[in-house]
Amino acid sequence: MGETAYRVLVVDDDPDVALYTSTVLERRGGCEVRAITNPTMARSAVDEFRPDVVVTDIEMPGMTGLQLIEQLRADQPDLPIIVMTAHVSVDYAVGALRSQADEFLVKPFSSPDLISVVQRLASQGRANREAGRPREYVLAVGAHPDDVEIGVGGILAAHRDAGDTVVILTMSRGAKGGEPDDRQNESLQSADLLGARLFLEDLVDTEITSTGPTIAIIERVIKQVNPTIVYTHSIHDRHQDHRAVHEAVVVAARAVDTVACYQSPSSTVDFRPSRFVSIDGFTSKKIELLQCFQSQANIRQYLEPDFVLATARYWSRFSSGSESCEPLEIIRDVDDLSVQSRSRPVVNRRTQAGSAT
């Protein structure tokens, strides 16, 4: 193997699966692979082998893959981890995402899919280390499915493209706007397409409060994720759930350096952003994310691609040199949301814009 070959640690108690995965990555992916069948040996293997990526099964004797992820994250928070499982249930997908896996693969997966995911995560990890910059940990909080994608879908896509960790916290399953199971599956599909981890809660739609359980849920997720940036609803919004989530986030994220608020279709004329983040190159990804929410396609005009593009184009008038932007109201910004890499979201400072139309 050459010096630049990606190093991959495979953890699976089934020797045949471990061998198959290793063979694919070595022969077709050009990776240097070490496979172990005992998950309790994984931490020492990581210390010795120093992999670029860990690929682990979920169901293993002695220690589950989810427990292993928790241990590895405690040692190396930036280590990319891929979870693979034969179970296709939503509960397993949510469990893997909540346990901070970077990707989730369902067996049997294709060789090209495995290689593509491993190479992408390994490349991002190495680029971050070589650039000498820490990975950003981004938490986007919304009241209902698709809120986050509508408000900051382009920004989140830019974060993922830069190798940042993105976590979405959705406080309800949106029962008032459709079938909860459909909206849950759509949320999972969107998170998977984005490469984000998803926390999907089950507070009552239209009855979310700004205190008590709402704050407790957000604080629990913040404790697990330890975000450096939090995006959420604006207080300037007609929907009571949006306002409640905003107020709860302000309390729960009081120790987070950067907190910014995005625009919703129900934002009022008092929504006045002061930052405009270029999403040039990521509008197509935003549209792809929104197209995951097919249950809403015929009832919400603002999900249509033309509407999305027109909105992004409108906000670009407040940004020099960008064709598409997403607007933000800044609650707190220790680092000024500035970025070094061109692939990361670039925020342009301007005076406050006029009212949203």
DSSP class per residue in 103-160: EEEESSPPHHHHHHHHHHHHHHHHHHHHHT-PPPEEEEEESSTTHHHHHHHHHHHHHH
- Average pLDDT on 310-314 reads 96
Beta strands in 25-88 (DSSP E): 32-36, 53-57, 81-85
Q: What confidence tens digit (pLDDT) does each residue in 11-39 have?
A: 999 999 999 999 999 999 999 999 999 99
- Average pLDDT on 80-86 reads 86
pLDDT-based confidence at 354, cuts 50/70/90?
Answer: very low
* Predicted local confidence at residue 133, as pLDDT: 60
- Give percent above pLDDT 90 in the chain: 59
* Predicted local confidence at residue 334, as pLDDT: 66
Query: Can you tell me which residue has the tokens 């919304």?
Result: 142
| Helix intervals (H) in 61-110 | 65-75, 90-98
* Predicted local confidence at residue 220, as pLDDT: 94
* Predicted local confidence at residue 98, as pLDDT: 61
Query: Can you tell me which residue has the tokens 């129900």?
Result: 266
* Predicted local confidence at residue 88, as pLDDT: 59
pLDDT-based confidence at 93, cuts 50/70/90?
Answer: low
Give the integer Cα–Cα distance in Å for 41 and 156: 35
pLDDT above 80 (res 69):
yes
**What homologous superfamily is domain 7-131 in, according to CATH?**
Response regulator (3.40.50.2300)
In this structure, what token pair is assigned to residue 68? 């292993």
Q: Do residues 8 and 52 make contact, with C-beta atoms less than 8 angstroms apart?
A: yes
Give the integer Cα–Cα distance in Å for 169 and 143: 8
Give the integer Cα–Cα distance in Å for 20 and 325: 45
**Which amino acid appears at position 307 of this protein?**
F
In this structure, what token pair is assigned to residue 132? 């000498």
CATH 3.40.50.10320 domain span(s) along the chain: 137-349
Q: What confidence tens digit (pLDDT) does each residue in 131-184 have?
A: 666 678 899 999 999 999 999 999 999 998 887 889 999 999 988 888 989 999
Q: Which CATH architecture has domain 137-349?
A: 3-Layer(aba) Sandwich (3.40)
- Average pLDDT on 343-354 reads 44
- Give percent above pLDDT 70 in the chain: 88
CATH 3.40.50.2300 domain span(s) along the chain: 7-131
Burial of 16 (0-12, 13-18, 19+ CB in 10 A): exposed
* Predicted local confidence at residue 116, as pLDDT: 93
Average pLDDT, the chain: 86
pLDDT-based confidence at 1, cuts 50/70/90?
Answer: very low
240 vs 110: which has the higher pLDDT: 240
* Predicted local confidence at residue 345, as pLDDT: 54
Give the integer Cα–Cα distance in Å for 357 and 346: 24
Q: What confidence tens digit (pLDDT) does each residue in 36-66 have?
A: 999 999 988 998 888 999 999 888 888 887 8
pLDDT above 80 (res 295):
yes
**Which amino acid appears at position 303 of this protein?**
L
* Predicted local confidence at residue 78, as pLDDT: 80
Coil, strand or helix: which one is 295? Answer: helix
Q: Which range has the worst mean pLDDT, 25-39, 95-109, 171-185, 217-231?
A: 95-109
To the nearest 10°, the Cα dihedral for 10, 13, 14, 20?
0
pLDDT-based confidence at 337, cuts 50/70/90?
Answer: very low
